[in-house]
Amino acid sequence: MKPLIIALALVLAAPLPAYAHPRAPRDLRELAHQSGIRIGTAVDIAALRGEADYRKVLNREFTHVTAENAMKWESVEPQRGVYTWADADTLVDNARRNGQRVRGHTLVWHNQLPAWLTAGVADGTIGNDELRSILRDHITTEVRRYKGKIRAWDVVNEVVEEDGTMRKTIWLDRLGPGYIADAFRWAHRADPQAKLFINDYNLEWNAPKIETTLALVKDLQARGVPIHGAGFQGHLGIQYDYPGDWANVMRRFADLGLEIAVTELDARMVLPVTEEKLETQATYYSRALTDCLSVAACKELTVWGFTDRHSWVPGWFDGQGSACLFDENLAKKPAYRALLAVRSPR
Ligand code: XIL
C-alpha cells in the first residue's frame, strides 16, 4: 500500500476522542450520557403528582433525583413512631420507572426536625442517651427502607459553621462530636452499597469551612469511618462573584479519595429579571458544570428544582428569584441552553 493510503487508513481507524461527540446534545439527559455524569434535580412531590407538564420535563431531562423535602425527618416521622413514607415512596417509584438514580436527603440536620423531637430535647423529657438511640433508629429505619434504591445519601448536612467551628446543634450539644462518625457507621450498616456523603453550602469558596471539612473527613477516614463523598450544595447568587476556585476545592476533596457531587445548584438573582441577568446566570450554570466535568471524581450535578414555578428561593431570599433552568411556564432559559453548549473535557 502507498504510504498515503496507510496514513489515511490509520486516521480513519483511530477512535474518536471522548469529547468529539457526533452532535450537540438535545436535552439534559443526552448531555448527561455524553459527558458521563448524572444530571439531577430536587423534586417537589406535590408537583410530581399533580402537574403533568412538570412530570413530563422532570422525566425527560433528568437522570438523578433528590426529594426536596420528602425524606427529611419532619416529613417521614411527624409524630414519634408514626412514619409517613408515601411522598418519599412516590419519588423512588417514579425514579425507577424513568431510569433515574436517587440521592437521599438528608439523615442528620438541624433543620426540619419534627416538633416532638425538638420539644422533647428542649424540655428535658428526651435525655441524651435516649436522643442517641432515637438518632440511630431514625437513620437505620430510613436507610433500610430504601436499601438498594438510593445511590447516595447526604448523611450529615451543614455540620460546619461559616467560621470553621463545628455547628452548634442539638446533635453536637447533646451527643458530642462523635455523632458524625456514628451517623456514617449506622447508615453504612443499614445499606452497605449506598455512597455516604457529607454535604454543605458555601463549601464552594469559604476557606474556614473548607479547611474544617477537609480535616473532618481526614479524621473520619483515619478512624475507619465509611465516608465516600463530598456534596457541594452550590446555592449561588449572581449578585456575587462566581466561586472561581471551586474546581480546585473539588479536587482537594477528590484527592482524599472522595466522590464529588454538586447537590443543590441554583443561581438566584435580585428581581426584576432582565435579559442581561439571565445571560449572567447562564454563565454560572455552565461554569458549575464545567468545574464538575474538570474533576474526574465529580459524578453528579443536581439542581435544586428545575422550574421557577417551584423554587425555594423567593420564600427564603427577600426580593430574589428566577434561580432555575426553566421559567414558571417551563420555557427553557438561557442557562438551560448554556448547559447544553458545555463540551465535556473528559
Ligand atoms: C429547602 C427546601 O427547598 C424548602 O422547600 C424547605 O422549606 C427548606 O429547605 N439546603 C438544603 C436543603 O440542604 O434541604 C434546603 O431545602 C435548601 C438549603
Is the pLDDT at 115 greater than 80? The verdict is yes
Contacts 24+ apart (CB under 8 A), 127-136: 128/174, 128/175, 131/170, 131/174, 131/175, 132/174, 132/175, 132/179, 132/182, 135/108, 135/171, 135/175, 135/179, 135/182, 135/183, 135/186, 136/182, 136/186
Alpha-helical regions (H) of 192-333:
207-222, 246-254, 275-293, 313-316
Catalytic residues: 158, 264
Report whether pLDDT(1) > 70. no
Taking only the tens place, the pLDDT of each residue in 7-56 is 555 545 555 455 555 578 999 999 999 999 999 999 999 999 999 999 99
Taking Cα atoms as reference points, which of 276, 175, 299, 318 lies closest to residue 230?
299
Instruction: Select from 335, 267, 262, 266 the least CA-distant residue to 295.
Output: 262
Output the CA 324–ligand 1 centroid distance in Å.
Answer: 14
pLDDT tens readout for residues 195-240? 999 999 999 999 999 999 999 999 999 999 999 999 999 999 999 9
Closest Cα to atom 9, ligand 1: which residue? 69
Q: Which of left, alpha, beta for 148 (phi over 0: left; psi -120 to 50: alpha)?
A: left
Rounded CA separation 62/161 (Å): 32
Cell numbers at 18, concatenated: 471522548
CA-nearest residue for atom 15, ligand 1, is: 68
* Candidate from 264, 265, 324 with most ligand 1 atoms within 8 A of CB, to mutate: 264
Closest residue CA from atom 5 of ligand 1:
312
Within 10 angstroms of residue 327's Cβ, the number of other Cβ atoms is 16
Q: Are 156 and 148 in contact (CB under 8 A)?
A: no
User: Measuring CA to CA, which residue among 339, 336, 299, 302 is closest to residue 37?
Assistant: 299
pLDDT (tens digit per residue) in 231-265:
999 999 999 999 999 999 999 999 999 999 999 99
Whether the CA torsion 201, 202, 205, 206 is positive or negative: it is negative
For the chain, percent of residues with pLDDT exceeding 70: 94
Kindly report, residue by residue over 54-99, the tens digit of the pLDDT.
999 999 999 999 999 999 999 999 999 999 999 999 999 999 999 9
| pLDDT at residue 345 greater than cutoff 50 | yes
Q: How far apart are CA 99 and CA 225, in angstroms?
A: 31
Checking DSSP bridges between strand 64-67 and strand 38-43, what pairing results, if any? parallel
> The C-alpha cell of 89 is what?
415512596
Closest atom, ligand 1, to C-alpha of 304: 3
Contact 214, 256 (CB under 8 A): yes
Determine the distance separating the centroid of ligand 1 and the alpha carbon of 91, expressed in angstroms.
Answer: 17
Report the separation in Å between the CA atom of 12 and the middle of ligand 1, taken as the mean of its atom positions: 51
Note the pLDDT of residue 346: 76
**Ligand 1 interacting residues, C-beta cut-off 6 A:** 68-69, 157, 233, 264, 312
Chain Cα centroid distance, residue 48? 19
Nearest to 326 by CA among 30, 61, 48: 61
41, 65, 107, 111, best to mutate for ligand 1 pocket (most atoms within 8 Å of CB): 111
pLDDT digits (tens, 9 = 90+) for 302-331: 999 999 999 999 999 999 999 999 999 999
